[in-house]
Amino acid sequence: MRNENKVWEAILDKIYEVQREVLEKISSSLSLEKPYSASVTTILHCYTRARFDKKYGLYRPIPTNINTLLGLLFDFTIKVVLQGYPPPDHHYVKEYEDSDGNKYTIHAGPDVVLGDEVVELKYTSMPLEKIPLEHHELQLKIYMNILDKSGRLVYLTPYGVKEIYYSREEALTDREVAELARQFFIEKKSPRYDWECQYCLYKSLCPLYRKPEEVSQQEP
Ligand code: SF4
C-alpha cells in the first residue's frame, strides 16, 4: 500500500483547464476605466480585490480550500447532468446607464439555462436557515434581468439541499443593476461585504482590510 496522486492530479488538471478559461473571460471583460465593463460576480465583490487581481494577475484557477473544490465539483457535475458533456458555455452581455449618465457593460455567465429559466448552482457550508445568501440572490436576479428569464438557486450544503425559484417579476430592474454597478465602478466599494476580507488573498497587504464583526456571517 502507498499514497498516490494519479486520480486527483487528473481531476485537478481538468479543474485547471475549465477554471483558467472562466477566469480569462472574467479578466478580459474587466475594465475599471471608461468604458466600464465587468462580470456580474465581479461587481458583487470588493472593488480593490478586483483591481489588485487585474493589476497583479493573481487569478487562481486551482482551489486552495476544500469548500471551493467541492463547489467546483458540484457545479461541473450538475452542469453535465442537466446539459450533457461538454456543458455549453453561456455568455450574455447587457449595457446599463445610471442617473448620472455613466454606462456599464455587464457580462453574465450563468451555470445553466433551461428553457425559460436561468439556474445558478451553489455549494456552501452555511446552515440551511441562512440560505439564500444575499450576493447569490443578487447574482441570480441580475442574470434574470440580462436574460429576461425566471430563475432558480440550487444549493448543496453539508446539512442538506435547497432549491429556490424566483419568478421573472423578481428580477432586478435596469436601474437597480446600474446602481450596483455604480457602487462598484464609481464608489469603489471595498470591501462590498465585511466577510470578504477574511477570505481575501490580499488581507495582509491591504490597508482597507476590515475585521468582520461576526466571523462566518456569510461566505463566498
Ligand atoms: S482585504 Fe478586504 S478590502 Fe482589501 S482587497 Fe481584500 S476584500 Fe478588499
pLDDT at position 133 over 80: yes
Query: What is the rounded distance in angstroms from the CA atom of residue 58 to the CA atom of residue 50?
Result: 10
Task: Say how many Å lie between the CA of residue 65 and the centre of ligand 1.
Answer: 18
DSSP 13: H
DSSP state of 198: G
Predicted local confidence at residue 220, as pLDDT: 57
Nearest residue to 131 via CA among 162, 172, 99, 166: 162
pLDDT band at 4 (very low <50, low <70, confident <90, very high): very high
Give the pLDDT score at 58: 79
Is 208 a member of any domain?
A: no
- Give the distance (Å) from ligand 1 centre to CA of residue 193: 9
Please report whether residue 184 resides in a domain. Answer: yes
Distance 198 CA to ligand 1 centre (A): 8
Considering only CA atoms, which residue is closest to atom 7 of ligand 1? Answer: 197
Query: What is the residue with the minimal CA distance to atom 2 of ligand 1?
Result: 197
Is position 211 within any domain?
A: no
**Domain for residue 191, yes or no?**
yes
Query: Which tops the pLDDT comparison, 218 or 110?
Result: 110
Mutate which of 189, 200, 205, 210 for ligand 1 pocket (most atoms within 8 A of beta carbon) = 200
1 within a domain of the structure (yes/no): no
Domain that holds residue 118: 6-199
The CATH number of residue 113's host domain is 3.90.320.10
Most confident of 50-54, 180-184, 209-213: 180-184
Q: Are 167 and 196 in contact (CB under 8 A)?
A: no
Tell me the C-alpha distance between 195 and 204, whole Å: 15
Whether residue 50 has its Cβ less than 6 Å from ligand 1 = no
| Averaged pLDDT of the chain | 94
How far away, in angstroms, is 162 Cα from ligand 1 center?
30
Report yes or no on 114 lying in a domain: yes
* 194 or 140, which is more confident: 140
The strand pairing partners of 161, in sequence order, are: 156
Residue 49, Cβ density class (10 Å: 0-12 exposed, 13-18 middle, ≥19 buried)? buried
pLDDT at 127 over 90: yes
- 53-89 tens-digit pLDDT: 999 987 788 998 899 999 999 999 999 999 999 999 9
Ligand 1 in reach of 208 Cβ (< 6 A):
yes
Average pLDDT on 93-111 reads: 97
The predicted-structure confidence for 142-169, as pLDDT tens digits, reads as follows 999 999 999 999 999 999 999 999 999 9
219 occurs within a structural domain: no
* Buried-exposed string 57-89: b where 16+ CB fall within 10 A, e elsewhere: eeeebebeeeebbbbbebbbebbeeebeeebee
Q: Specify the pLDDT at position 218.
A: 55
The answer to whether residue 218 is domain-embedded is: no
Evaluate the CA torsion angle 42, 11, 219, 148 in order and state its sign: positive
133 Cβ closer than 6 Å to some ligand 1 atom: no
Domain count, the chain: 1
Task: Supply the residue whose CA is at minimum distance from atom 5 of ligand 1.
Answer: 49
Q: What is the mean pLDDT of residues 89-114?
A: 96
DSSP-derived pairing of the beta strands 36-39 and 92-97: unpaired
